[in-house]
Amino acid sequence: MEFPKPTNRQTAKEKQRSRYETLIFTRLVLLVAVPLLIVGLLCGILYYRSEPARGRAKLGEVAGNASMRMTSVFDGLRSYYLAALRNSSFTWMESCSEIPYSRYSDLRDAQELLRGGTYMDSYVVGYEYINLRYGWVLSNYGTFPLEQMKNQEEIRTFIDNQASQTATLYWVNRTGAAPRQTSSLWLNVSGQCLVARITSAKNGLVGMLLIHLDMEYLSELAGEWKSLGYDVVLLDANGETVTTTDTELAHALADAGDLSDGHLRIPGTISNYLVQGQAINFNGITCYAAYDEQQNLGSSVAAFWVSVLILLATVVVLLVCRWNSAFLYRPIRELLDQAYDVFGRREQNQDEFDYLTSSVTRAAQNQKDMQKLVQAQRRQLEQQFLLHILRSEASLEAIHSTMQEFGIQPFACYRLLVLSIVFEKQMTGSVREAVAQTVAQRLPAEICRRLFFCPVAVDATVVMVAGAENEETLAHNVETVYKGAAKVVSAGMGCRCVAGVSRVFTSPEQIASAWHEASEALRSRGAASEEMRQDLTYYTTAEDNHTEHGYDTLLENEIIAAMTACNKRETERLIGVFLERLEEKGVRGYERMFYLQRLVSTLLMVAENAGLSVSKVLSNHSDNLFAEISRIYSNDKMRTFLVEEVAVPVMDLLGNFRRDNTSELVKNVIALIKQTNGDLTLNECAEKLNYSASYIWKVLKNERNTNFTDLVASQKLEMAKELLLTTDMSVAQVADTLHYSNVQNFIRFFSREVGMTPGKYKKEYQTGKKKP
């Protein structure tokens, strides 16, 4: 490792400070490491001296816990499968005289039951249900006839051995039997399993259920105590091992005689075990817990070497810390270099930390100066942030953090005003914007103190948020703000102004909605009669006005028809009519937004009904389409948006699709007519081809200048000619094949279209007198 060396620009005091830092660091490490080593060694000695006594004391607790845990497992298995034998999902199989292949759902339920369900599934690795009465088997591999099992002799021996049993459910250890072969036709009667005998008073033993336990899972349960230094062994009544954490210990316990003194020594080893056993109330299984006293010696030796390693590691750490002190000091040196670049080099006799302190002080002063600059431009920042809120571009966290940063105190209630300047002459949009901006900047401080944010110019209007601690004061503030603004407009521009006012709201997050309400109130003033107009118009809901409006579905259908025909001019006209009718009816607020959203959904559904995806239409809108609509309040802008951003792209998409796919659709319709011999309706055709019926009708009209009924009739006529000339079918048979209601209708239709009867046609053209 390469350590940094002092550079030429380091003074003598800098070098002295580096050595001083290294010495302090080393002494601190020694001061901490040595006591820790001593305490660690003492704790290790005390721990390993008391370990045997603690092991003996805990052995009884481990034996009891292991016995209880294993008892819980076996009791749970026994209770579950005793209940399963009485469950209707199992008992129905006892009366099945043959393999019930047709009852797939019931078999699946039975397999789920025998597999152990939710609670016992982890303990069970497999199962076999043997229907001895009718000779078939259900296992986790499927259902098979008993006579097809390949290990018949082993099965008969197993069944004969269980005939003398009287218990319904018992443990069988057949680890010495031949292991299961890798075949679904090999009935597994080996290993360790639970056996359930199924009997009837009339027929005796009629079935057996074998549940094969997952011994690896039981070993994992027993292994939980292995990590604590204890071994757990389960032996059955015959001394056979059920599960164990130590195979040698299990064999020694099986061969041991009297264990009354609680000691067991394994021949040929130095192990000397303390053993305690407790019986499990299940077929004579006993749970033993054992603790090897000799492991204390090994632990002590290991502890000694661990202590040696810790000591060596401590020495290494001290050396590394000593030689890396310069590396630890590097950040301070780099900080000094950065301070040199910003504030210049320090004086020769100046302490480095004094220099850093003065540099930080100067940086703090610069920050204060920056804050003063920000304060000077606070009006512009507040206006920009209010614009973000109005456009729903500021999150709740951003609103609160900005208020806290600007020191803005919230009010108990608010109202939002949208001030519009009324010009005597027609003005351009840029002039109106400039005037609104001038009014926002010239509002006096007395008016601004009653506002929550500084006023801001938006779309040739001035937006102001008035606040107060109660609604009575708020109403007074709103009137005061409006009168003050009107005075500024009258004195400075010689014009008058009008304002829309939102409802009372209580949270700054509602400013965007309040802006919509105030703009809506301003627009509703323009739609009102002369005698109803007021300079200060408050927003009211449709319920407040006691008005009812209805959605114009007839006009909606006309718009759909115009778009389906890709008539852009007519579509634009109808959308304009739709917006004008909303204005005439006084529809506004949330009801107006609902109608507009429904209209947009209708425009998009034109493409959806043609089987097209509107993702291309929506791909140009990073924001939600409906959110963009909610921010448009001018009818002209709304009409332009709906036409150019929604209707025209949908019609372009529809037109391109028709040009690319129309001919293929007609081919598919004709092929389907031939496939069904003309027995096909327009709705059936649309359903099979995954198109709407109206769309197929329009395609046939545009491309073939025909309708679906005439197309079916012409195709049936061509098929009739082919059948008459290429087969021996009679006229009646042809009429029946092509699904005519009767042969007279077929003859009448054929004669009208061809000019002769079917019989005459067949006779003349089939004999070669004429060519069709």
DSSP assignment of 59-87 equals: HHHHHHHHHHHHHHHHHHHHHHHHHHHTS
User: For the residues 723-732, what does the mean pLDDT come to?
Assistant: 90
Spatial CB neighbours of 83, under 8 Å, sequence gap ≥ 6: none
Give the residue, 523 or 678, on which the prediction is more confident: 678
Name residue 457's beta-bridge partners.
Answer: 462
**Which residue, 141, 229, 232, is CA-closest to 188?**
141
Query: What is the DSSP track for 370-436?
Result: HHHHHHHTHHHHHHHHHHHHHTT-S-HHHHHHHHHHHTPPPPSEEEEEEEEEE-SS---HHHHHHHH
Residues 208-258: tens digit of each pLDDT: 888 888 877 777 877 777 777 788 887 777 777 778 888 778 777 777 766
Note whether residue 149 is domain-resident.
yes
The domain in which residue 102 lies consists of 86-213
Instruction: Specify the pLDDT at position 470.
Output: 92
Query: Does pLDDT of 719 surpass 90?
Result: yes
| pLDDT over 60 at 567, yes or no | yes
Burial class (CB in 10 A: 0-12, 13-18, 19+), 666: middle
Lowest mean pLDDT among 543-547, 560-564, 571-575, 664-668: 543-547
Contact 729, 735 (CB under 8 A): no
Question: Which of these, 167, 252, 172, 258, lies nearest to 205 by C-alpha position?
Answer: 167
Judged against a pLDDT cut of 90, whether residue 336 lies above it is answered with no
137 DSSP β-pair partners: 130, 144
pLDDT of 695: 83
Decide: residue 301, CB within 10 A, 0-12 exposed, 13-18 middle, 19+ buried. Answer: exposed
User: By mean pLDDT, which of 347-361, 415-429, 714-728 is the weakest?
Assistant: 347-361
pLDDT at residue 304, rounded to an integer: 65
- In 3-state terms, what secondary structure has residue 125? strand
pLDDT at 308: 74
Element (H, E) at 599: helix 589-609
Q: Among 293-307, 392-406, 449-463, name the most confident range.
A: 449-463
Specify the pLDDT at position 707: 86
Contact (Cβ atoms closer than 8 angstroms) between residue 277 and residue 227: no
What integer pLDDT is reported at residue 737 of this predicted model? 92
pLDDT of residue 672: 92
Distance CA(631)–CA(638), nearest Å, equals 10
Higher pLDDT, 283 or 706: 706
* Residue 467 within any structural domain of the chain: yes
Region 140-165: mean pLDDT is: 83
Residues of 678-708 as b/e, b for ≥16 C-beta within 10 angstroms?
Answer: bebebeebbeebebbeebbbbbbeeeeeeeb
pLDDT, position 13: 46
Instruction: Read off the pLDDT band of 766 (50, 70, 90).
Output: confident
Query: β-strand 230-235 against 286-292: which pairing, if any?
Result: antiparallel
Place of tokens 């292994």: 223
Residue 146 confidence (pLDDT): 85
Q: What is the full DSSP assignment across 164-183?
A: T---SEEEEEETTSPPPPSS
pLDDT grade for 148, boundaries at 50, 70 and 90: confident
pLDDT at 128: 87
Cα gap 453→389, rounded to integer Å: 11
The residue from 213, 236, 254 where one domain ends is: 213
Angle, CA 594 vertex, CA 590 and CA 600 arms, to 5°: 140
CATH classification at residue 199: 3.30.450
Q: Write down the pLDDT at residue 325.
A: 61
Q: What is the pLDDT of residues 5-50, one digit of tens each?
A: 444 444 444 444 444 456 556 666 666 666 766 776 776 676 666 6
> Residue 690 has what pLDDT?
85
Structure confidence at residue 750 (pLDDT): 92
pLDDT-derived band at 3 (thresholds 50, 70, 90) equals very low
**Long-range Cβ contacts of 344-347 (<8 Å, 24+ apart):** none
Q: Would you say residue 558 has pLDDT above 60?
A: yes
**pLDDT (mean) for 362-375:** 72
Most confident of 152-161, 389-398, 643-652: 643-652
**Average pLDDT for 507-518:** 84
Q: Among 185, 213, 241, which residue terminates a domain?
A: 213
Q: Which residue has the higher pLDDT, 388 or 119?
A: 388
Rounded to whole angstroms, how far apart are CA atoms 592 and 551? 10
Instruction: Establish if 583 belongs to a structural domain.
Output: no
d(C-alpha 621, C-alpha 17), whole Å: 62
Comparing 192-201, 409-418, 583-592, 645-654, which segment has the lowest mean pLDDT?
583-592
| Rounded average pLDDT over 733-740 | 91
Residue 401 lies in a domain: yes
For 679-708, give the DSSP string. Answer: ---HHHHHHHHTS-HHHHHHHHHHHHS--H
Tokens 């000779």 map to which residue? 135
CATH of the domain at 464: 3.30.70.270
Structure tokens at 144: 């098979």
Whether residue 587 is contained in a domain is answered as: no
Contact 477, 491 (CB under 8 A): no
Question: Residue 360: inside a domain, yes or no?
Answer: no
Identify the pLDDT of residue 300.
Answer: 56
Q: Which of 517, 540, 563 is the last residue of a domain?
A: 540
H-run or E-run covering 284: none
In the Cβ-directed half-sphere of 54, how many Cα atoms lie within 13 Å?
9
Specify if 511 maps to a domain: yes
Number of domains in the chain: 2
Structural element, H or E, at residue 242: strand 241-244
Query: Which amino acid would we find at residue 453?
Result: F
pLDDT score of 473 more than 80: yes
pTM over 0.75, yes/no: no
User: Which of 236-245, 477-486, 606-615 comes out lowest in average pLDDT?
Assistant: 606-615
pLDDT given at position 676: 92
Query: 54-113 pLDDT, tens per residue?
Result: 666 677 788 788 888 888 888 888 888 888 888 888 888 888 888 888 888 988 888 888
Proportion of the chain above pLDDT 90, given as a percent:
7
Running DSSP on this structure, what letter comes out for residue 8?
A: T
State the pLDDT at residue 203. Answer: 78
pLDDT at 692: 83
Report the pLDDT value the prediction gives residue 12, as an integer from 0 to 100: 46
Residue 372 has pLDDT above 90, yes or no: no
**467 bridge partner residues:** 414
Beta bridge partners of 272: 265
Angle of helix 553-564 relative to helix 648-675, nearest 10 degrees, comes to 70
Query: What would the mean pLDDT of 580-606 be, rounded to a whole number?
Result: 82
- The token duo for 469 is 């601690």
Element (H, E) at 499: strand 496-501
At 416, the pLDDT band (50, 70, 90 cuts) reads: very high
Q: Which carries the bigger pLDDT value, residue 426 or residue 208?
A: 208
- 644 within some domain: no
693 pLDDT above the threshold of 70: yes
